[in-house]
Every structure is written in structure tokens, then in C-alpha cells.
Amino acid sequence: MLPKTIDTVYFSPTGTSCRVVRAIAEAIATTDRNTAPAETTRPAEIPVRTFDLTHTPVAETTLPATHIVLFAVPVYGGHPAPTALARMHDLHGDGTPAVIVVVYGNRAFEHAAEELAAFVAERGFRPIAAAAFVGEHSYSSDTHPIAIGRPDASDLADAAAFGTAVRRKLLGTTPTEIDIRQLKTPRTPLIPLLRFIRFVLRYRRQQRRNPVVYLPDGDTSHCTHCGRCAAICPTQAIVRGDETRTDAARCIRCCACVKGCPVGARSFTTPFAAALARNFGKRKPPVTLF
Ligand SMILES: Cc1cc2nc3c(=O)[nH]c(=O)nc-3n(C[C@H](O)[C@H](O)[C@H](O)COP(=O)(O)O)c2cc1C
Ligand code: SF4
Ligand code: SF4
């Protein structure tokens, strides 16, 4: 049976998870011309609601089994971004069908989808579909491009196709739960993978000997104090009026401030950017499970 409402729940500092989940939701909401007349007796459009957790956590809420909930989060270090999970803590389902979406920067999503599925299942949701899409890496820049411009038109077409597949699944009797372990990162060629592992081992060794804290910072000679970075920072790590500094304890290195500064006055320098750009240049396609 088609749901009464589609709820999108996402955390998306640089906007890629948001774009992917919107494309999926739009396709679920829209009549699938290819399955008519099966759909002719049903309402064509389903309303879509948004829970954007990028700046604030969700208040205590239970979403009924007549809804479908799309969870979309970026992958940080092979896990769902911890701030995203913290902000979803008070959201509950009641056997409510859910779609798990992780968005990663063309390296790997590792166990992120599994962990997000387990997290929502503990809160009363029933994962019936899942997908991993690629978004431009938060650390990507002109000097070190990593999955630049993604999700692009091809990714968004795949997101729409996935949404249509989910809609068809919902049209059936009781949509079955998925085995999330079947959702796997597309393979990285062996040489770049080994090169990246060697880089990580060296980086860890150096950090043990001589720890360095990498943090985005602002260029005082270019900053116009427009306040945009302070407004878009999801964790209040930038204070209005003092925008060239970053509170290390609050910053999650999401790079929203770097990408959002209109004059390029904020930057984030990390050795990971060059290593990722060098080793993960081969395009990874979206993967889906339903
Ligand atoms: C702290 C941090 C860790 C990340 N870790 C990974 C990772 O393990 N694998 C990967 O492929 N991308 C990784 N990324 C890239 C993001 O998952 C990717 O850019 C995503 O599209 C960002 O989502 P958003 O636009 O919704 O913020 C990381 C980004 C950040 C900021
Ligand atoms: S967005 Fe850029 S120019 Fe505006 S306050 Fe922040 S660093 Fe300065
Ligand atoms: S200061 Fe840190 S947390 Fe805030 S937007 Fe910039 S990178 Fe993200």
C-alpha cells in the first residue's frame, strides 16, 4: 500500500545528502507511469515532509506505520556522521517502513549503511530499501578534486530510478525487510587502495609521534565578515564577528564553511585531501538494495 506521507530526515552540511534524498522522495511521491493501471485507483501524489537536522535535532516524535521515512546521512570515517545520529535520537517509528541512504565521497562507505539501519531499527523503523550514493567529497577543492560536482545528473537519474523501485515495492502487499549487509561499496582498484592504506599507516605513525590538529581557518585579509560561515556552521564552531577563527572542540570538519564562503576566505588543509584525490579518482556508481 502506498504511504500517506513521505518523511525525509537528513543531516547534510554541504548539501549532497539533501540533494540525493530529495530526488528519491520526489520519485516515490510521483505516479509511476509504467505500473498504471495498477496505480489508477490510488492518489497520484504523496506529500513530502522534511526534517532537516543539519542545524537542529529533531524533537521527540513518533512517525506512524502509514508513513515512509527516508533517512539520509553523510559517511564520516566509514560511519554515519555522529552528529546526524545524535540529532535523530528522539525520532521513533511504530513498525514504520524506512529507506536507508548513505552518501560518501567516492572512497568507501564501509559499515555506515549497516550502522544507520541498526540505529533506525532500534527506534522502531523497518528498513525496506537502502542505497549508497556518491557526493562531492567535503575535502574536495580545485587543487585536490574528489568526486567533484557529484551527485551529478546521472546520479540524480539513478536516485529517481531507485525512488520508483521503492514505490513499486510499496505497492505490493507487505514490503519485506532487506538484508543490509548485501549493500557493498564498489571496488577500488588494488594499487590505489594499497597506496592509500600505506598513506593512512604513515599518517597515524606521524600523528603518534607528533600530533597535529587540522582545522579549517579563515584568511583575515580576505574575510568581509559577512557572517555566512557562522550561519551555515552546523555546530556553532564559528562566532559571528570573529569568523576567521574556529572552535576546535565544536568543529566536525564538515567543510560547509569552506564551500559556503563567497570570497574563498576559509580553507581546510589536511594531508587526506591529496591522498584521496590521488587514489579515488575512479568514479564509483550508486548502489541500491530493495
Ligand atoms: C570528517 C569527514 C569524514 C569523511 N569520511 C569519508 C569516508 O570515510 N569515506 C568517504 O568516501 N567519504 C568521506 N567523507 C566525505 C563525505 O561523506 C561526502 O563528501 C558527503 O557527500 C558529504 O555529505 P553532505 O554534502 O551531505 O555534507 C568524509 C567527510 C568528512 C567531513
Ligand atoms: S563567509 Fe567568508 S567572508 Fe563571510 S564571514 Fe565567513 S570567512 Fe568571512
Ligand atoms: S567550522 Fe567546522 S563544523 Fe563549522 S562549518 Fe566549518 S568545518 Fe563545519
- Domains of the chain, by residue range, sit at 5-186+283-289, 217-268
Give the model's pLDDT for residue 37.
Answer: 55
How buried is residue 213: exposed, middle or buried, by Cβ count under 10 Å (0-12/13-18/19+)? exposed
Residue 79 CB–ligand 1 contact under 6 Å: no
Q: Ligand 1: which of 76, 136, 250, 253 to mutate, most ligand atoms within 8 Å of CB?
A: 76
Question: DSSP letter at 237?
Answer: -
Centre a 10 Å sphere on the Cβ of residue 60 and count the other Cβ atoms it contains: 8
Residue 112 CB–ligand 1 contact under 6 Å: no
- Cα separations (Å) of 263 from 93, 123, 240? 43, 43, 17
Cis peptide before 13 (omega within 30 of 0): no
CB 81 within 8 A of CB 102: no
Q: How far is the CA of 64 from the centre of ligand 1 (A)?
A: 31
Q: Which ligand 3 atom lies nearest to the CA of residue 254?
A: 8
- Distance of alpha carbon 181 from alpha carbon 165, whole angstroms: 19
Q: How far is the CA of 284 from the centre of ligand 3 (A)?
A: 27
Give the model's pLDDT for residue 33.
Answer: 67
Give the model's pLDDT for residue 43.
Answer: 52
What CATH number does the domain located at 217-268 have?
3.30.70.20
Give the model's pLDDT for residue 174.
Answer: 81
Q: How far is the CA of 20 from the centre of ligand 1 (A)?
A: 14
Residue 53 CB–ligand 1 contact under 6 Å: no
Which fold is adopted by the domain 5-186+283-289?
Answer: Rossmann fold (3.40.50)
Q: Render each residue's pLDDT in the chain as its tens digit; 290 residues.
A: 899 999 999 999 999 999 999 999 999 999 776 665 555 555 558 999 999 999 999 999 999 999 999 999 999 999 999 999 999 999 999 999 999 999 999 999 999 999 999 999 999 999 999 999 999 999 999 999 999 999 999 999 999 999 999 999 998 878 899 999 999 999 999 999 999 999 999 999 999 999 999 999 888 899 999 999 999 999 999 999 999 999 999 999 999 999 999 999 999 999 999 999 999 999 999 999 99
Give the model's pLDDT for residue 276.
Answer: 98
Centre a 10 Å sphere on the Cβ of residue 202 and count the other Cβ atoms it contains: 12
Q: How far is the CA of 233 from the centre of ligand 2 (A)?
A: 11
Q: Ligand 2: which of 217, 228, 232, 239 to mutate, most ligand atoms within 8 Å of CB?
A: 228
CB proximity list for 58: less than 8 A, separation 6 or greater: 9, 51, 87, 88, 89, 90, 91
Give the model's pLDDT for residue 219.
Answer: 85
Coil vs helix vs strand at 98: strand
User: CA-based Rg of the chain, rounded to a whole angstrom?
Assistant: 20
Q: How far is the CA of 217 from the centre of ligand 2 (A)?
A: 10
Q: Which ligand 3 atom lies nearest to the CA of residue 252?
A: 3
- Distance of alpha carbon 254 from alpha carbon 246, whole angstroms: 12
CB proximity list for 103: less than 8 A, separation 6 or greater: 12, 16, 17, 20, 72, 73, 74, 75, 132, 133, 134, 135, 151
Give the model's pLDDT for residue 36.
Answer: 55
Residue 237 CB–ligand 3 contact under 6 Å: yes
Q: Which ligand 2 atom lies nearest to the CA of residue 244?
A: 7
Coil vs helix vs strand at 278: helix
The bridge status of strand 217-218 relative to strand 266-267 is antiparallel
Residue positions counted in the chain: 290
Count Cβ neighbours within 10 Å for each residue of 261-285 and write b for 16 or more, e otherwise: beeebbebebebbebbbebbeeebe
Give the model's pLDDT for residue 172.
Answer: 80
Give the model's pLDDT for residue 173.
Answer: 76
Q: How far is the CA of 30 from the centre of ligand 3 (A)?
A: 36
CB 71 within 8 A of CB 9: yes
Give the model's pLDDT for residue 50.
Answer: 96
Cα 146 from chain centroid (whole Å): 16
